[in-house]
Structure 1
Amino acid sequence: MKAMILREANKLKLEEKETPNPGSKEVVVQLRAAALNRRDLMVVQGRYPGMQLPAIPGSDGAGVVIAVGDEVNNVRNGEEVIINPGLHWGNDRNKKRADFSILGNPTDGTYAQYVKVPAENIYSKPSHLSWEEAAALPLAGLTAYRALVTKGRVKKGETVLIPGVGGGVATYLVQFASALGADVYVTSSKEEKIEEAKLFGATGGVNYTSDDWSEELQKLTGGIDLSIDSIGGEVFKTLVSLGKIGSRIVSFGATRGPVPNLLLPSMTVKEISVIGSTMGSSQDFADMVKFVEKHKIRPILDKTFSLEEATEALWRLEKGENLGKIILSIPQD
């Protein structure tokens, strides 16, 4: 099979590799499309904790099952599927096991024509989605669903803030929160991204390069019930100031690093809950897929590249040029 293989940092190369065979509880999927995540970028740059080389990056993918293990009875050859990239979460929905990992390192991932995964990580592809849309759903969709619904406990009519709209998780957060009847606001450094976000569910937004963006947002919203944050840094302090009494902040990342000089009394007086979230359980994934099917949600796609253009695609992701998910089209021969 053809695969993009990483043998040293920042050097992805299209190579031929033996097609995998399934273990007794595994399946092999012939991929039709894969999608990029920031985790892939960290792996390719050699910055991901515990990574191993050589490796085939990629966590997201959709395709057709072409081989099943002897003990697999819940998946059939020829089934159109998407892959839950979270491996070995365990039976406790509230927390992952110590050996939890994500497809794409150290386990070979989806930047390839075929991928081998545990049968329990296979789910039927929602019929209303194209291959590209289906491939875009798993990691970001799961992360967004758990942060918003399982951890954030969003309610109809609440005001929800999504800082830094543009990436895959943020676009799902807007779509999911809107579908659940929340009033959704976003921030971005680009006015066009705010306008685009309004097309898929946002009520409004502000440009965070403005000196008074938090004051603008306060006037627009009257305060925030639930913020879903992946930025951290000084932005997190602003989320505290915007929060209503009894509000929640769910954090699933911190691209700007730790929060400096956080004033805990501000959180105490407002009784703000801060909740960490990451990926999600198999139940979260199943619930997310059902939710997408029920509301006929279609992932927001940015641009599609060929498999051998993976490095160029990652460069686009690193520069933050995308709105929605970047896709790799996988060749079938």
Structure 2
Amino acid sequence: MLPKTTKALVVAEAQDKSELPYAARVIEQELRPLKGNELLVRIEAVAFNHRDVCYILCFHWQLADLTSIQLWIRKNLYPGIGVGEVLGSDGAGMELLPISLFERNSPWWGIGSVIASGTANDILIGRRVFLTPSRGWDQDPTGPEQKFTVIGGVKGPSIGTFAEYVIVERNEVIEIPPHLDFEHAAAWPLAGVTAWRAINYQAGVKRGHNVLVTGIGGGVAIIALQLLVFIGANVYVTSGSDKKIQRAVELGAKAGFNYKSGMDLEKVLKQENHTLDSVIDSAGGDILRLTSKILKPGGVLDFIASNRFYDERGFSQYTPQGYMAYSFSLLICCAHHHLGSAMGSKRELLEATNFIAEHRIIPVVCNVIEGLESFEDGFELMKEGAQFGKIVIRVHRNSKL
């Protein structure tokens, strides 16, 4: 029997809007009949992103003052937030049922009918897949072809991964590489495509390049480090935690620098007669000044779309309007290329997935939580800010993955 309902974690109105404009709760939803090109996917694992807890729900406890981040939500500066919409951009699971051309007008047909349909889509029945985390950007390397949207918590498209079952269009799933289990596959898509585009299309990193990755510990930064190591770059990292730096070195970083104890990156690079070819920055802060002397002329400083309005030292990186302080004198005098990255296309996600399959790269998962009802545990872990890697929910408790 196919399921007729699903549990889902949705955006809800907060009871006390003086503190947070939105809350989250698990509800039971009906599953509608499938349309012609749709699949029913049993979700096995989902991963948290700062987008879910910061932009959508405003659960960013690392901030000393929530005023500026609340402005984003209360002034509707994050487009399309929808009460009742399912949260989550990253999810991995198994295909249960694609509707065949022969059964298009027949809702909830049995598995046997679909297996016998003979359509091309049927080859994915029972296969392990992850959902593509965005819509509107298929293959143009310069930017989205249509209105770009990240799924989860928004009105259009009305789809999110934090659910037991998800109905999704056939062309919005990608098969999971064989070496990944569901938890690690769930940690891959959004962070993976973001890091891949920043490295390959924005910074143009090649073997032997010297690259600085800031804010190591977050999902994008860690995957960027892993990809860069396999490309053959010399990778340096920054963090406010010696423990995170040590983990990064174990993953292949050349060295790490703790900004809380004094940044000596310039000294080390001079000793090795190196300058940086590029900086992949997802931490923000005073990165322009810090890298102006060690980024080579013509080097690339690539800003990853960041959810941090204050750094771990409490220094403001952005104004309440969301703008980073910017020095045009540094831009002109140093002849650097300053670029911005925000995710990437479906084509880039496919390229990146093929790359990690070839090199058997495994995204770092730091915590696995059992069941959607335990979502608050994930928020608490993100509040602590000590994680190194992704926080994942195993949706079906005690399932053997």
TM-score category (smaller protein):
over 0.9
Counterpart selection for 1:19 from 5, 15, 31: 31
Match of 1:51 in 2: 81
Contact 1:21 1:116 in 2 (8 A): no
Contact 1:33 1:132 in 2 (8 A): yes
Deviation at 1:298, TM superposition (A): 0.5
| Compared CA separation, residues 265 and 218, structure 1 to 2 (3 A) | farther
2:130 pairs with 1:82? yes
| Compared CA separation, residues 225 and 237, structure 1 to 2 (3 A) | same
Counterpart selection for 1:4 from 9, 15, 32: 9
Contact 1:27 1:67 in 2 (8 A): yes
Q: Distance in 2 between matches of 1:186 and 1:30?
A: 37
Contact 1:187 1:206 in 2 (8 A): yes
Contact 1:162 1:228 in 2 (8 A): yes
Match of 1:251 in 2: 303
Match of 2:182 in 1: 131
The correspondence of residues 268-279 of structure 1 with structure 2, limited to 5 A, is: 268-279=332-343
| Compared CA separation, residues 39 and 220, structure 1 to 2 (3 A) | farther
The correspondence of residues 106-255 of structure 1 with structure 2, limited to 5 A, is: 106=154, 107-216=158-267, 218-219=269-270, 222-254=274-306, 255=308
Q: Secondary structure at the match of 2:386?
A: coil
Match of 1:92 in 2: 140
2:353 pairs with 1:305? no
Structure 1 segments (4+ residues) deviating >6 Å: none
Q: Secondary structure at the match of 1:331?
A: coil
Match of 1:323 in 2: 388
Deviation at 1:231, TM superposition (A): 2.6
Q: Between Structure 1 and Structure 2, how many residues are aligned?
A: 332
Q: Secondary structure at the match of 1:185?
A: strand
Q: CA-to-partner distance for each residue in 1:201-228, whole Å, 9 max, x for gaps?
A: 2111100113444545544663211101
Contact 2:10 2:153 in 1 (8 A): no
CA root-mean-square deviation: 2.1
Q: Distance in 2 between matches of 1:241 and 1:59?
A: 38
Q: Which has the larger radius of gyration?
A: 2
Q: Distance in 1 between matches of 2:333 and 2:90?
A: 42
| Compared CA separation, residues 21 and 226, structure 1 to 2 (3 A) | farther
Deviation at 1:277, TM superposition (A): 1.4
Contact 2:194 2:344 in 1 (8 A): yes
Q: Distance in 2 between matches of 1:78 and 1:199?
A: 36
Q: CA-to-partner distance for each residue in 1:45-70, whole Å, 9 max, x for gaps?
A: 27343211112100001101112244
Q: CA-to-partner distance for each residue in 1:279-298, whole Å, 9 max, x for gaps?
A: 11111011001000111101
One-letter amino acid of the structure 2 residue matched with residue 73 of structure 1: A
Counterpart selection for 1:63 from 89, 93, 103: 93
Contact 1:57 1:105 in 2 (8 A): yes
Q: Distance in 2 between matches of 1:105 and 1:13?
A: 12
Q: Distance in 2 between matches of 1:298 and 1:171?
A: 11
Q: Distance in 2 between matches of 1:28 and 1:73?
A: 16
Q: Distance in 2 between matches of 1:198 and 1:238?
A: 21
TM-score by length of 1: 0.93
Match of 1:292 in 2: 356
Deviation at 1:266, TM superposition (A): 3.1
| Compared CA separation, residues 237 and 70, structure 1 to 2 (3 A) | farther
Deviation at 1:90, TM superposition (A): 4.1
For structure 2, the 5+ residue unaligned runs are 1-5, 14-20, 59-69, 102-118, 309-316
| Compared CA separation, residues 317 and 21, structure 1 to 2 (3 A) | farther
Deviation at 1:278, TM superposition (A): 1.2
Q: Distance in 2 between matches of 1:117 and 1:241?
A: 48
Q: Secondary structure at the match of 2:120?
A: coil
| Compared CA separation, residues 242 and 69, structure 1 to 2 (3 A) | farther
Q: Secondary structure at the match of 2:293?
A: helix
One-letter amino acid of the structure 2 residue matched with residue 63 of structure 1: G
Q: Distance in 1 between matches of 2:242 and 2:300?
A: 27
Q: Distance in 2 between matches of 1:271 and 1:17?
A: 54
For structure 1, the 5+ residue unaligned runs are none
Q: Secondary structure at the match of 1:32?
A: strand
Contact 2:191 2:219 in 1 (8 A): yes
TM-score by length of 2: 0.78
Deviation at 1:261, TM superposition (A): 5.0
